[in-house]
Amino acid sequence: MNITRLEPVYKDYIWGGNKLNEFYGKNSGLSVTAESWELSCHKDGMCRIIDGDYAGRTLLDAITDDPAALGEKAARFEFFPILIKFIDALSDLSVQVHPSDEYALKNEGQYGKTEMWYVVEAEEDAKLVYGLNKEVSREEFAELAKGPELMNVLNFVPVKKGDVFFIQSGVIHAIGKGLLICEIQQNSNLTYRVYDYDRTDAQGNKRPLHVEKAIAVSKLGTEPLKTSGELVLKNDTVTVENLATCEYFVVDKIVLDGTYSIVPDGSFISVTVVDGCGKIGGLEVSKGTTVFIPANAGSALLEGNMTVLSSYVK
């Protein structure tokens, strides 16, 4: 399997904007492009391969034919391990929470969701919700979740470009309006909505809430907050910063002005360009491009002036 660019899958949720089409090289054909699924082998949206012998086929088809492209570290997962997306929030996303693997497998027959956000763009005064501002009981939470009083116990965090948020399953959260985020997450599309501002879709219908399930899985207290990564490498041409490391994924931020080689180590690598342009493995890339590097591809040369997120499993 070749190093290849991937064709995204697009979602037109009611809170989305159009920055992805206008500024990130997307051509969704949708009036609203809320999400661009950049790396996905999920049943709700399969990315297709653009380059090489597998062009036009889904990524899942390709790694089924060539399991070595997945890598032995990634092969330990029952399903393809991660999903990567861009999220463009023209308005606030719902207040929500994701279950743990244990709860999700028992009650939903699928895996839970731990995720990480990298803030690609943030408008002035943009903010998001990360956990609660005080501890509450499950009974109190159930009462608050009946209406806008819930907003009084949410922890609102001001956000700027380049901030990082690691969100474990069970942490209540919400992306605020004016944010464009790259999200790296478990390969899951399981979300429990707690509050959705009583808004309706074009047909006048409210989106379903999942309050009882949310109460069962939520961490109802304050959560430690970390908004930056840890420096791994810095020289005249490249800076590498580890943004997140967990049992499900590892994410590094690479800021490049020149050349830099990345080498798969038992896992595929997904490289998403969040700023600038250049080449990855000889392929032309620009802001918004995602490239899949198979585990058996050998090294891949990054060239140019760009900022990328490199995602893999340990």
Report, as residue numbers or ranges, the catalytic residues.
193
Q: Determine the residue type at 263.
A: V
CA pair distance 166, 183, nearest whole angstrom: 10
- Sheet (strand 82-89) strand order: 9-11, 35-39, 82-89, 179-186, 115-122, 164-167
